[in-house]
């Protein structure tokens, strides 16, 4: 019987943990703010195999699989800090699956630190949003030893339908970060182009109709911009602050790999200045509003 510890019950994490519980696995949950853990428990239909741990060490004690799902790799480092006693509570042979959208260098440090005490590490960030987490259809991008991944695959399968072994430790985070950087680049470039076209008298839906039948199409032009920008709906589904963080990870990763990457670096800067301009609450698609302000035009 697999015992799972789940650390971090944010918007996505709570839904993932709920699916782990629904699969009938033994589960100990912990969240820095205890109220979220209480709320998580209160919403469960069956609490018989689930407990709220008093701290991260209490959560991981006796666990076969630890899943962390926090904001940044630094938060995982903090959980493993000596003051929490997590290292001492971990059993040899445990697998630590980090579903945080983290950064590869810190992942490698975490993996080395855990390896020294006989714990394996897999970075496993997810994509698919709250809908995917709820329905168990997340994509899980995994970095680490392939054999270790096989051991935890049944646990990941409770919330993910596409579980991909990307490469060594850090590869999962790298793939997720690059994906998000490509989104940022395509979104921003499309915003620039559509703003210029709008000022020249070309309606965005006409331009998008052509582009989406042609070679310049992307997820940004096919989905995000028509559904969220042209309609002025701008729903808040994924925060710009998080995209900023992810694109910065991709940009630093490209540097670390010695790949000259002016486009990814510029995308990171645009997200950074948009985040600084629009604040922490803004959705990632709202970044386009910065281009609109600069250009004195609305893409609508």
CB-wise, 33 or 135, nearer to a second copy? 135
**Does 167 contact a second copy by CB under 8 A?**
yes
Q: At what angle do helices 171-199 and 204-211 cross, to 10 degrees?
A: 130
Least Cβ distance, residue 41 to a second copy (angstroms): 32
**Does 258 contact a second copy by CB under 8 A?**
yes
Residue 83 structure tokens: 């003051």
DSSP letter string over 122-165?
A: EE--EESHHHHHHHT-EEEEEES-HHHHHHHHHHHTTTEEEEEE
Binding mask 5-34 for a second copy (x = CB under 8 A): ------------------------------
Which residues, other chains included, contact 66 with Cβ-Cβ below 8 Å and sequence gap of 6+? 4, 5, 7, 59, 60, 90, 94, 95, 96, 97
Q: Scanning the structure block, which residue is given the tokens 């006989």?
A: 118
CB-wise, 99 or 141, nearer to a second copy? 141
Residues 107 to 136 in contact with a second copy, rule: CB under 8 A? 127-128
CB-wise, 56 or 125, nearer to a second copy? 125
Interacting span for a second copy (CB under 8 A) from 3-11, 16-24, 35-43, 261-269: 261-269
Interacting residue with a second copy among 18, 180, 286, 289 (CB under 8 A): 180
Q: Sign of the C-alpha dihedral, residues 122, 123, 128, 133?
A: positive
**Does 92 contact a second copy by CB under 8 A?**
no
Interacting residue with a second copy among 41, 87, 157, 196 (CB under 8 A): 196
Instruction: Identify the H or E element spanning 98.
Output: strand 95-98
**Does 170 contact a second copy by CB under 8 A?**
yes
> How many binding residues for a second copy (CB under 8 A)?
82
**Does 300 contact a second copy by CB under 8 A?**
no
Tell me the Ramachandran region of residue 232: left when phi exceeds 0, alpha when psi lies from -120 to 50, beta otherwise: left
Interacting span for a second copy (CB under 8 A) from 11-19, 79-87, 149-157, 253-261: 253-261
Answer whether 122's CB lies under 8 Å from 113's CB.
Answer: no
Answer whether 9's CB lies under 8 Å from 23's CB.
Answer: no
């Amino acid at each position: 019987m697999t015992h799972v510890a789940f650390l971090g019950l944010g918007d996505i994490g709570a839904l993932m943990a709920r699916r782990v519980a629904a699969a009938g696995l033994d589960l100990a949950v912990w969240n820095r703010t205890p109220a979220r853990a209480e709320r998580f428990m209160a919403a469960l239909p069956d609490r018989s195999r689930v407990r709220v741990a008093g701290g991260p060490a209490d959560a991981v004690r006796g666990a076969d699989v630890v899943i962390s799902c926090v904001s940044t790799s630094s938060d995982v480092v903090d959980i493993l800090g000596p003051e929490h006693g997590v290292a001492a509570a971990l059993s040899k042979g445990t697998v630590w699956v980090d579903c945080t959208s983290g950064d590869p260098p810190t992942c490698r440090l975490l993996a080395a630190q855990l390896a020294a005490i006989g714990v394996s590490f897999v970075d496993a960030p997810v994509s698919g949003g709250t809908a995917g987490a709820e329905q168990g259809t997340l994509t899980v991008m995994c970095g680490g030893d392939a054999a270790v991944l096989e051991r935890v695959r049944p646990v990941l399968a409770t919330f993910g339908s596409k579980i991909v072994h990307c490469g060594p430790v850090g590869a999962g985070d790298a793939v997720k970060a690059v994906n998000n950087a490509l989104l940022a680049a395509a979104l921003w470039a499309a915003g620039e182009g559509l703003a210029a076209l709008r000022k020249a008298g070309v309606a965005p839906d006409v331009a998008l109709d052509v582009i989406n039948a042609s070679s310049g199409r992307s997820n940004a032009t096919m989905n995000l911009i028509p559904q969220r920008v042209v309609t002025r709906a701008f729903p808040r589904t994924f925060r710009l602050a998080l995209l900023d963080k992810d694109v910065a990870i991709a940009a630093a990763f490209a540097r670390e790999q010695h790949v000259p990457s002016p486009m990814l670096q510029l995308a990171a800067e645009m997200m950074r200045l948009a985040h600084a301009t629009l604040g922490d609450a803004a959705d990632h698609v709202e970044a386009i509003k910065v281009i609109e302000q600069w250009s004195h035009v609305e893409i609508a």
